[in-house]
Amino acid sequence: MDSNWQLFLDSLWPLTQAAITASIPLAVISFAIGLAVALLMALMRISGSKVLSSVARVYISIIRGTPLLVQLFVIFYGMPSIGLTIDPWPSAIIVFSLNTGGYCAEILRAAILSVPAGQWEAGYTVGMSRTRTLYRIILPQAARVAVPPLSNSFISLVKDTSLASIILVGEMFRKAQEITAVTFEFMLLYCTAAGIYWVICLLLSALQNSLEGRLEKHVAK
Amino acid sequence: MDSNWQLFLDSLWPLTQAAITASIPLAVISFAIGLAVALLMALMRISGSKVLSSVARVYISIIRGTPLLVQLFVIFYGMPSIGLTIDPWPSAIIVFSLNTGGYCAEILRAAILSVPAGQWEAGYTVGMSRTRTLYRIILPQAARVAVPPLSNSFISLVKDTSLASIILVGEMFRKAQEITAVTFEFMLLYCTAAGIYWVICLLLSALQNSLEGRLEKHVAK
Amino acid sequence: MSPSNQAASLLTVTGLHKSFGANQVLKGIDFTVHTGEVVALIGPSGSGKTTALRCLNGLEIPDACTVAFAGGPEVAFSAGFKPKQAQILRQRSAMVFQGHHLFPHLSVLQNVTVGPLEVQKRPRAEVMEQATALLARVGLADKAQAYPNSLSGGQQQRVGIVRALMLKPDLLLFDEPTSALDPELVGEVLVVIKELAQEGWSMVLVTHELAFARDVADTVVFMDGGVAVETGPASQVLAAPQNPRTQAFVQRLLHPF
Amino acid sequence: MSPSNQAASLLTVTGLHKSFGANQVLKGIDFTVHTGEVVALIGPSGSGKTTALRCLNGLEIPDACTVAFAGGPEVAFSAGFKPKQAQILRQRSAMVFQGHHLFPHLSVLQNVTVGPLEVQKRPRAEVMEQATALLARVGLADKAQAYPNSLSGGQQQRVGIVRALMLKPDLLLFDEPTSALDPELVGEVLVVIKELAQEGWSMVLVTHELAFARDVADTVVFMDGGVAVETGPASQVLAAPQNPRTQAFVQRLLHPF
Amino acid sequence: GGSPDSGGTPDEAGASALQKVKDAGVLTVGTEGTYRPFSYNEGSELTGYDVEVIKAVGEKMGVEVKFQQTQWDAIFAGLDAGRFDVIANQVAINPEREAKYLFSEPYTVSTGVIVTKSDNTDITSFESLKGKKTAQSLTSNYYETAKAAGATVEPVEGWAQAVTLLKQGRVDATVNDKLTFLDAQKTHPDDSIKIAAEAEDKTDSAVALRKDATDLQEAINTALDSLRADGELAKISEKYFGEDVSK
Ligand SMILES: Nc1ncnc2c1ncn2[C@@H]1O[C@H](COP(=O)(O)OP(=O)(O)OP(=O)(O)O)[C@@H](O)[C@H]1O
Ligand SMILES: Nc1ncnc2c1ncn2[C@@H]1O[C@H](COP(=O)(O)OP(=O)(O)OP(=O)(O)O)[C@@H](O)[C@H]1O
Ligand SMILES: [Mg+2]
Ligand SMILES: [Mg+2]
């Protein structure tokens, strides 16, 4: 027990370090890019154009229908066979962004559709174009509806970054495995890693709550 | 290429078989139980009781905050140390159910809250009790709102069953790994598995659409 | 239509108090409904009309109040009151909501029969017969199998009224039954309510339709700031109000611009 | 208030047709609004009043129609019409919606200035001055920093009117501006509209408030089944309608029960 | 470019595998980094028997050695995709693998052992595994060995997991590399498990290369030969196992 405690303490910093230098930046960057992809896909879905909407549909279906692990494999190990060799970090960011894009597209679509049609029309009637109405009127209101599910997706993403080790990104879970390989205490190490994920998620949930609170204030009732 | 094609054909049936006999039943059973857990947690969250609501909150936070892999590890490899040895399948069902319960609790809570308060009152005024109003009036209407996110969760669950291999459940992904252990064609086998997942997800999405359509009809506008 | 003073009193409400947090909404209201009487609650927005009505149906739990139905039950609300006890009030009265609140996933027939069948457990044949008769009565005989979504607002509200009647209550409670309706549809609902009043149903009616209240109500209670400011025969309170607040309110509604 | 026949015509609508799928909602409507004139559109629910009004603001694209503002633009809608072209209509007219549709995430001041500042790109100082004056004009000087949520329905609708006025349109379009309001709050909005009419604003007004239309409108257009059944001076169409359908409608609204 | 008789297939750039390594001055090696004592991280330092052997090979070849650490799942995919030039991770030579990849000369020769609980008496040989449950790492050669012996195989991720299952009584045995067992006993002495039997045939592990890298294969073989000759290989082996496992 005592040596377990020692091991726990010893592994805490390396794991935290891996979280700070790899898992978290990977999640944050991918999420930011992914949101942009998601918005694009959501707009394509609502656009009314059959072609654009179908493209987005297929994209979303493939992303949601296939395991993330396989997506990582294909980009990192499959692309070189068609002459495209991408480094681990860029690969990871591409895959996680595309994945986030697929998952969050439906969230954003639903959020945008949840804003009453009258808000679009009110935007038009004060002279705004479609695009300006979207950015100035619709998205700020859609945000309130979108934040909780987006935060879910973000929390999932943080945990999913553990898969990046398969394409040579040395994130936290990989670090835990490395330590386990020497000590054989996989339960302890995995639980420690889980604890760190949990702390991150608690922070994110707190952030979500405060964000929701701020957006709540001025939403139509 | 030819031998790849042959391998693809050869592996298709074993993988599909594993999907039918393990991945899908595991997902379906866990989802059914998980929904019951989720409903319980959602009701605890709305109950107004500080204690019940906090219990549910902590439960949800732990489930969402820690990786599924670790949850599997803890139940399967950790429980024996306190004298509780659970077989692979029951372990998998327990973990996936609890996991689904945590994730879907928030979905159900939001769905229940989305039904106008007037529906509760209309139930009361025709003499119904809280419980009867919930089952007879509220849940059928909450279903419409809950189906899309629940279907998301179910699709995720189907793919997540691949993690059950870590606790010795012989599901589809494990089958793919077993085949590759001999042939080393990881890319090919993983992509085949991904294809099967995708087909399952397409079927589920179609199911979701028809369900939504049916529920849509009679929802308050 | 005015009930004689000797008419049996059906409901006696005494000392109705209700606060939401620090907001004291009802500061002690008393009134009586006699059998066959129509009582209209009127008053400015926020004066507590809806809250008072909801208390009668146990949808809101008063801080203090005695609600006594003739022949029992007498319900005394106080600190330790359990929400469940409110259910016994609902055996005597039935509410028709402003927004009708029909069950959108049930057909019209199911909407009106779910209470009698599943809660009151009355025999199916009898309930169906009653439902058919009442739906025909409000002009919706052909809509029994329709779903609420496919009905106009006026039709929905009429179904809401039938749903309440099906419970065979002694007292009908209406909370602005036409205020969510298209102006053109208001008439068809008011006509139904007027007929019910003429048939002798006892009812408490919250309304902003002063012309209607004058025509249908026996007694008008004017509420303002959580207090029953003026109570009296409809003709008197609406045509020649005594209290200055009542006067200002009536004036504002009858001559808006 | 009736404009002389010599008043300059501000807007001429010719041959307004609009279908939704197989549902032919507007079957060729013509009318003219003179400068300073108030035109009221009345008619039963579903007769196409809202659709007609929305077409004037390009929120609905007519199947065929010519909308000509004095001094241009003249917009001819036809098969190949692009939604973007509708924007030029919005430079001449501004819409006040039934449900006001204020922007809930912007303050009152931001709501009314976002158009002039960000779309019309007018100088900030001038816009602020205009906003302050107009808000004061409708009795909301102290609400500039408030958010729509914290306002009553009547206040929200008055902000909606200011938002439209801020665009300096030649024509104001009102779609049942009081129908979503509490009965008590109707008056405060009608008073504002009446004053605008008296100040000489040109407007097209869809309303169910027949008493108000009679008081404020110069011309009344009675629509039914997608056709302008009867058009004429307000006093005549509302007090002594010629067409039997108009008669029935007016009767139903003035004597609902 | 490689000489025509070297067998090295020039790639699209016209350079052979060896040439490319030489040009870059770097030999890129795929390894797990979680497989003690062959390839693992001590603190932040990658070390282990395979790691040191391939480093020594690189030194002989006059190139720097760079490691890419990945999971076993991805290790052959990485080789296929050109993410690294060779794999040094106790890859056992077997006919299926030889059909697809090139192998250097073996640098580890070891035996498979059956590990059971100390009090187990009914497993005494590979034959007695028939009908028993064993936990095997999918990645190891012994997965097939145990299957061939008629055992029900539970696939696991590695030694630690296999031993946990064994001790929890969820499996009867695990067939594993003797060297892994010895190393584990050295660092984490545990008398509740024992070697119940040892295989007769030896397992050879070697550096794995892509099929077209024949000149690189030759260069590595040459390096291994000279390491063997000057005793360097034996020295590394002694350091990790206290005996020479390289032949
Ligand atoms: N559930 C509640 N929680 C807190 N305050 C409430 C609640 N319900 C009503 N109130 C407050 O009680 C007061 C009276 O409300 P009530 O709805 O009874 O008025 P009303 O007379 O029916 O008004 P209206 O004519 O607008 O319907 C208001 O100030 C309102 O804000
Ligand atoms: N976006 C739409 N898509 C399909 N049909 C529509 C749409 N908008 C209106 N309609 C139909 O057009 C007809 C006229 O509607 P409109 O809203 O113009 O009537 P209205 O005269 O304003 O009625 P109300 O008094 O109820 O507001 C109705 O049958 C309506 O169902
Ligand atoms: Mg009320
Ligand atoms: Mg309309």
- In this complex, the chains that touch C, judged by 3 or more CB pairs closer than 8 A, are B, D
- Find chain D residues with C-beta within 8 A of C179's C-beta: 182-183
Residue of A74, A187, A201 lying closest to B191 (CB–CB):
A74
- Could you tell me the pLDDT band of residue E36, with boundaries at 50, 70 and 90? confident
Angle at B129 between CA C23 and CA C204, to 5 degrees: 55
- Band the pLDDT of E14: cuts 50, 70, 90: low
The predicted-structure confidence for D168-215, as pLDDT tens digits, reads as follows: 999 999 999 998 888 888 999 999 999 999 999 999 999 999 999 999
Instruction: Give the pLDDT confidence of E158-173 residue by residue, as tens digits.
Output: 888 899 999 999 999 9
Residue type, D90: R
Q: Provide the terminal-to-terminal Cα distance of chain E, rounded to the nearest Å.
A: 34
Strands across the sheet containing C38-42: C93-96, C171-175, C202-206, C38-42, C219-224, C227-233
**Cα B213 from chain centroid (whole Å):** 22
C161 occurs within a structural domain: yes
User: What is the phi/psi pair of residue D157, to 5°?
Assistant: -65, -35
Q: What is the pLDDT of residue D220?
A: 96
Q: Which candidate, D89, D101, D119, D96, places its Cα nearest to that of D165? A: D96
| Integer Cα distance of D145 and D129 in angstroms | 15
pLDDT at A219: 67
Percent of chain C with pLDDT over 90: 75
Atom number of ligand 1 nearest to Cα C47:
21
| Mutate which: E70, E71, E76, E153, vs B, most B CBs within 10 A | E76
Q: Chains near B, with 3+ CB pairs < 8 A?
A: A, C, E
Long-range CB contacts (within 8 A, 24+) of A170-175: A170/A18, A170/A22, A170/E69, A171/A18, A171/A19, A171/A22, A171/A23, A171/A26, A172/A15, A172/A18, A172/A19, A172/A22, A172/A23, A172/A196, A172/A197, A173/B67, A174/A18, A174/E69, A175/A14, A175/A15, A175/A17, A175/A18
Minimum CA distance residue for ligand 1 atom 25: C45
Residue C82 Cα, ligand 2 centroid: separation in angstroms?
Answer: 48
Average pLDDT value for chain E: 89
In this prediction, residue B32 carries a pLDDT of 97
Distances (CA, A) of C26 to C15, C60, C177, D119: 9, 12, 22, 49
Chains with 3 or more CB pairs closer than 8 angstroms to A?
Answer: B, D, E
E21 pLDDT above the threshold of 80: yes
Supply the DSSP string of A92-105, one letter for each residue. Answer: HHHHHHHHHHHHHH
Average pLDDT over chain C, rounded to whole?
Answer: 91
- Tell me the ipTM for this assembly: 0.83
Domain membership flag for residue C73: yes
What pLDDT was estimated at residue B219?
A: 67
Looking at domain A2-220, its CATH class is mainly alpha
Between the CA of residue C169 and those of B127, C65, C77, C88, E126, what are the distances in Å?
Answer: 11, 21, 21, 12, 84
Structure tokens at E152: 């029900």
Sheet containing strand C9-20, edge to edge, reads: C23-34, C9-20, C64-69, C74-77
Q: Which residues pair with D32 in a beta bridge?
A: D12
pLDDT of residue B204: 92
Q: How many CB atoms lie within 10 A of CB E200?
A: 9
Contact (CB, 8 A) for C227 and C233: no
The residue whose CA is least distant from atom 1 of ligand 2 is D20
Query: What percent of chain E is modeled with pLDDT above 70?
Result: 94
Q: How far apart are CA E245 and CA E241, in angstroms?
A: 8
Q: Can you tell me the mean pLDDT for E78-91?
A: 93
pLDDT in tens, E101-153: 999 999 999 899 999 999 999 999 999 999 999 998 877 778 888 988 999 98
Residue C26 counted as domain residue: yes
> Residue D3 falls within a domain, yes or no?
no
Which residues does residue D171 pair with via DSSP β-bridges, in sequence order? D93, D202
Q: At a CB cut-off of 8 Å and minimum separation 6, what does D178 contact? A: D157, D185, D186, D189, D190, D207, D209
Ligand 1 pocket, residue C45 CB under 6 Å: yes
Give chain C's length.
Answer: 257
pLDDT bin (cut points 50, 70, 90) of residue C100 is confident
Distances (CA, A) of A145 to A108, A111, A113, B107, D134: 9, 6, 10, 13, 34
The answer to whether residues D119 and D167 touch, using CB atoms and an 8 Å cutoff, is no
Cα–Cα dist C116/C136, whole Å: 18
C25 CB less than 6 Å from ligand 1?
yes
Cα angle B37, B43, B48 (rounded to 5 degrees) comes to 145
Give me ligand 1 centre to Cα C230, in Å: 20
Nearest bound ligand to CA D49? 2
Is-contact C99 C180, C-beta < 8 A?
yes
Q: Is B95 on the interface with C (CB under 8 A)?
A: no
Residues with CB under 6 A from ligand 2: C 182; D 20, 23, 25, 43, 45-51
Q: Which 3-state string (H, E, C) describes C91-142? A: HCEEEECCCCCCCCCCCHHHHHHHHHHHHCCCCHHHHHHHHHHHHHHCCCHH
Flag whether A touches C (3+ CB pairs, 8 A cutoff): no
Q: How far is the CA of C175 from the centre of ligand 1 (A)?
A: 12
Q: Is the pLDDT of residue C63 over 50?
A: yes
Judged against a pLDDT cut of 60, whether residue E2 lies above it is answered with: no
pLDDT at D246 over 80: yes
Give the C-alpha separation, C36 to C216, whole Å: 12
Length of chain A counted residue by residue = 221
pTM above 0.95, yes or no: no
pLDDT value for A178: 87
Residue D2 in any domain: the answer is no
Q: How many Å apart are CA C207 and CA C190, to the nearest integer?
A: 11
- Please give the Cα distance from E47 to B218 (Å, whole number): 66
Q: Which residues contact C158 (CB under 8 A, 6 or more apart)?
A: C138, C139, C140, C188, C189, C192
Count: domains in chain D: 1
What pLDDT, on a 0 to 100 scale, did the predictor assign at position B221? 54
SS3 E116: strand
**Boundaries of domain holding D88:** 9-254
In chain A, where the domains are located: 2-220
The pLDDT assigned to E117 comes to 95
Instruction: Find the mean pLDDT for residues D136-161.
Output: 94
| Residue-level pLDDT at C203 | 96
Question: What separation in angstroms does the CA of D183 have from each of B134, D140, D190?
Answer: 34, 20, 11
The two beta strands, E34-35 and E39-42, are antiparallel
Contact list, A179 vs chain E (CB under 8 Å): 41
CATH number where C232 lies: 3.40.50.300
Taking the CA of D60 as reference, the closest ligand is 2
Backbone angles phi and psi of D160, in degrees to 5: -60, -40
* β-pair type (E102-117, C202-206): unpaired
What whole-number distance in Å separates Cα of residue C97 and Cα of residue C144? 20
Q: Which residue has the higher pLDDT, C244 or E4?
A: C244
In eight-state DSSP terms, residue C73 is -
How far apart are the C-alpha atoms of B53 and C51, rounded to whole Å? 28
Low-confidence ranges of chain B (pLDDT < 70): 1-2, 218-221
What type of residue is E237? S
Q: What is the Cα–Cα distance from C77 to C65, expressed in whole angstroms?
A: 5
The CA distance from D166 to A122, in Å, is 14
In angstroms, the separation between the Cα of residue C8 and the nearest Cα of chain B is 25
Find the mean pLDDT for residues E26-43. Answer: 92
Indicate the average pLDDT of chain D. Answer: 91
- Other residues' Cβ atoms within 10 Å of the Cβ of residue E28: 18
Q: Write out chain A's pLDDT in tens, 221 residues.
A: 578 888 898 899 999 999 999 999 999 999 999 999 999 999 999 998 999 999 999 999 999 999 998 999 899 988 888 888 899 999 999 999 999 999 999 899 999 999 999 999 999 999 999 999 999 999 999 998 899 889 989 999 999 999 998 888 888 988 888 888 888 888 889 899 999 999 999 999 999 999 988 888 766 55
Identify residue E240 by its one-letter amino acid code: Y
Count of other CB atoms within 10 angstroms of residue D144: 19
CA–CA dist C50, C31 (Å, integer): 15
Q: Do the domain assignments include residue C4?
A: no
Q: Which pLDDT score, from 0 to 100, does residue A115 have?
A: 93
Whether the CB-CB separation of E152 and E131 falls below 8 Å is answered with: yes
